[in-house]
Amino acid sequence: MDPSELLRTAATRLETLAARTTPGDWRTAGLLATRPEVVATLAGGGTEHVAEARAATGTWIAALSPALAAPLAAWLRAAADDPVTPEAEAFARALLSRLG
Give per-10-residue mean pLDDT for the chain (100 aa). 79 88 84 79 87 77 84 92 90 86
Looking at residue 76, its pLDDT comes to 93
How far is residue 63's CA from residue 46's CA, in Å, rounded to a whole number?
Answer: 26
Domain boundaries, the chain: 1-64, 65-100
State the pLDDT at residue 66.
82
